[in-house]
Amino acid sequence: MKIKNLLSLSMFCCILFCNCNTTPPQEVNIIPKPVNLEIKEGCFSLTPATVINVVAGSEDLEAANRYFSELLSASLGAPLAITEGTAQKKAINVTVSPQLKPESYELTVDQQAIHITAGSGKGVFYAYQSLRQMLPVEIENGTPLKKINIQNVSIKDEPRFGYRGMMLDVCRHFFPVEDVKTYIDMLALHKLDRFHWHLTDDQGWRIEIKKYPKLMEIGSTRPETVIGRNSGEYDGTPVEGYYTQEEIREIVQYAADRYITIIPEIELPGHASAALASYPYLGCTGGPYEVEKLWGVFDDVFCAGKETTFQFFEEVFDEIIPLFPSEYIHIGGDECPKTRWKNCPDCQKRIRQEKLKNEAELQSYFVHRIENYLNSKGKKIIGWDEILEGGISQTATIMSWRGTQGGIRAAKQGNQVVMTPNNYVYLDYYQSKDTDKEPLAIGGYVPVDTVYSLNPTAGLNEAEAAKVIGVQANLWSEYIPQFSHVQYMTLPRMAALAEVAWTPNSLKDFADFKRRIPALMKRYEALNYNFARHLLATETQTAAETETK
């Protein structure tokens, strides 16, 4: 064993077994930074005999308690017992109080017990995530422990935004169920609560639709992929895969057990090649079409003039809606060329019949019609900021990706907004200027400090800022074929996003974040996550506003 590992082990044993009252206070390095944290003298000793004691519960509490109990089970030899009753010593006493906001929590650790009071089971879960970051990293890989000393603290905390998201594109490259679950675990560690799942695109259709089996037979497979940035050379290796509806249910439940809502994205009216290859009548020309092997934006899109197009989407959504409890369905709406519509008799007839001015308003008609159908099923839509073109309803939520200007415009006109500007939170961009030493990426430059510097409500007054419901980072997978690469591109930038989404802007401090992040990186190591290690490169250079997704 290396000397530094022996030193780390001896320090760790001291923390575990020295007398709480004689050892110096331990550092508490929680990310995202809590709203209020006070370190007290002494510590609480957690042992296999410690119980989780529910003083006052709620219907949604069970998953939080089970999660924390099982987190400790490998190290302590068994899950912590879960009981009910009045507050007691040598216990984690949990109280759900309707007087607190649902996601807020208060966490107190003293020598006698741990006390958690939260507004819901979700708030309790976030208290557990803070407590988790105060435990030795060895609990992440199940190292046997007899006792864990936890620093005495008092924390009062709540998130800045209710929507704190990460997107994963599984169309350009497919990631199996276990990888998706690990991605969800990564979100949970960072107190993120929305997983935006990009399921359909030109290069692959990734969700089972039983009414349309060719989407799986044809649309889920491309025979090969272009090498690099559309070099004209191909690798000859098929990329295939889709999630069955049973697998979708399994993943949705896995996320729900971590208080994460999954928002599915079904692209329309553009990014349609995989669906058109499966059912050519959905396009303006009738094909032939193929599942795209190249990256980019393509002229062949769903025909806006044919009723069969809208029948297709209604029947697709009829199968998708029961799978996802989310109030939102993401309908894309970005990067839709109008070339085919301009030359399509059906589309031009639709423009005349509906008294539309042009093809931009035809896209608005398409989006409105899908939105009305989803509204009738109890769902709301989110779309990329292009859906602003031609006008949108007040019930649509805008995801602003081409910088923040689309989001600012939407907020000023009264729409809800999720800020996801490419020049701050596109994690498929390079995170180092020394690109020769980095894996191939789409371009741009978004280091950790750039992510951290985002203020999602900048440029808005108080009333307009209230329309910004949250923030999200996106990971497009054109150049990301393995899940270890997914982790490398997201970590530790996900931690910076988490602090943007959770911590009040007035409390953010990048120097303090850098001081705290090494503790979280040790947890990444214990979890066997692959992550980028060049955080100290802090020079900020924003990426181009119009980089293609």
| Whether residue 386 lies in the annotated active site | no
Within a domain: 8: yes
Contact 200, 265 (CB under 8 A): yes
Regarding whether 93 and 222 lie in a shared domain, the answer is: no
Q: Is the omega angle on the peptide bond into residue 176 within 30 degrees of 0, that is, cis?
A: no
Question: Residue 140 class from Cβ within 10 Å (0-12 exposed, 13-18 middle, 19+ buried)?
Answer: buried
Regarding whether 112 and 226 lie in a shared domain, the answer is: no
Gap between the Cα atoms of 226 and 394, Å rounded: 41
Q: What is the CATH number of the domain that holds 501?
A: 3.20.20.80
| Whether residue 335 lies in the annotated active site | yes
Tell me the torsion sign for CA atoms 220, 222, 226, 228.
positive
Mean pLDDT, consecutive 10-residue stretches, the chain (549 aa), reads 38 47 78 98 96 97 98 96 97 97 98 98 98 97 95 98 98 98 98 98 98 98 97 97 98 98 98 98 98 98 98 98 98 97 98 97 96 97 92 91 97 97 98 95 97 98 98 98 98 98 98 96 97 70 39
Regarding whether 325 and 452 lie in a shared domain, the answer is: yes
Gap between the Cα atoms of 246 and 251, Å rounded: 9
Q: What is the CATH number of the domain that holds 144?
A: 3.30.379.10
CB atoms within 10 A of CB 204: 25
Within a domain: 535: no
| Predicted pLDDT at 535 | 83
Regarding whether 183 and 122 lie in a shared domain, the answer is: no
Regarding whether 176 and 116 lie in a shared domain, the answer is: no
Contact 118, 96 (CB under 8 A): yes
For the chain, first and last CA: distance in Å?
46
Regarding whether 176 and 131 lie in a shared domain, the answer is: no
Within a domain: 537: no
Cα–Cα nearest to 209, from 310, 281, 313: 313
Of the residues 60, 257, 314, 335, only one is catalytic, namely 335
Question: Residue 12 class from Cβ within 10 Å (0-12 exposed, 13-18 middle, 19+ buried)?
Answer: middle
Within a domain: 542: no
Tell me the residue type at 229: R
Domain range for residue 134? Answer: 3-157
Within a domain: 543: no
| Predicted pLDDT at 20 | 66
Give Rg (Cα) of the chain. Answer: 25
Across 132-251, where does the E strand assignment appear? 148-157, 163-169, 194-198, 200-201, 204-205, 221-222, 239-240
Regarding whether 324 and 217 lie in a shared domain, the answer is: yes
Contact 288, 340 (CB under 8 A): no
Residue 70 has φ and ψ, to the nearest 5°, of -75, -30
- Strand order from edge to edge, sheet including 105-109: 36-46, 148-157, 105-109, 114-118, 91-96, 51-56, 81-84
CB atoms within 10 A of CB 64: 28
- Beta-bridged to residue 516, according to DSSP, are none
Regarding whether 86 and 225 lie in a shared domain, the answer is: no
Regarding whether 341 and 478 lie in a shared domain, the answer is: yes
pTM above threshold 0.75: yes
The last residue of one of the domains, among 157, 184, 213, is 157
Regarding whether 152 and 256 lie in a shared domain, the answer is: no
| Predicted pLDDT at 14 | 43
The last residue of one of the domains, among 157, 192, 213, is 157
Contact 252, 321 (CB under 8 A): no
Of the residues 115, 173, 196, 271, only one is catalytic, namely 271
| Whether residue 41 lies in the annotated active site | no
| Predicted pLDDT at 431 | 95
Residues in the chain: 549
| Predicted pLDDT at 536 | 52
Contact 332, 384 (CB under 8 A): yes
Question: Which residue in the block uniquely carries the two structure tokens 């006070």?
Answer: 38
Regarding whether 192 and 75 lie in a shared domain, the answer is: no
Within a domain: 179: yes
Contact 259, 63 (CB under 8 A): yes
Within a domain: 152: yes
Regarding whether 243 and 353 lie in a shared domain, the answer is: yes
| Predicted pLDDT at 247 | 98
Within a domain: 260: yes
Q: How many domains does the chain have?
A: 2
Of the residues 106, 138, 201, 208, only one is catalytic, namely 201
Element holding 524 (H helix, E strand): helix 510-526
Tell me the residue type at 196: H
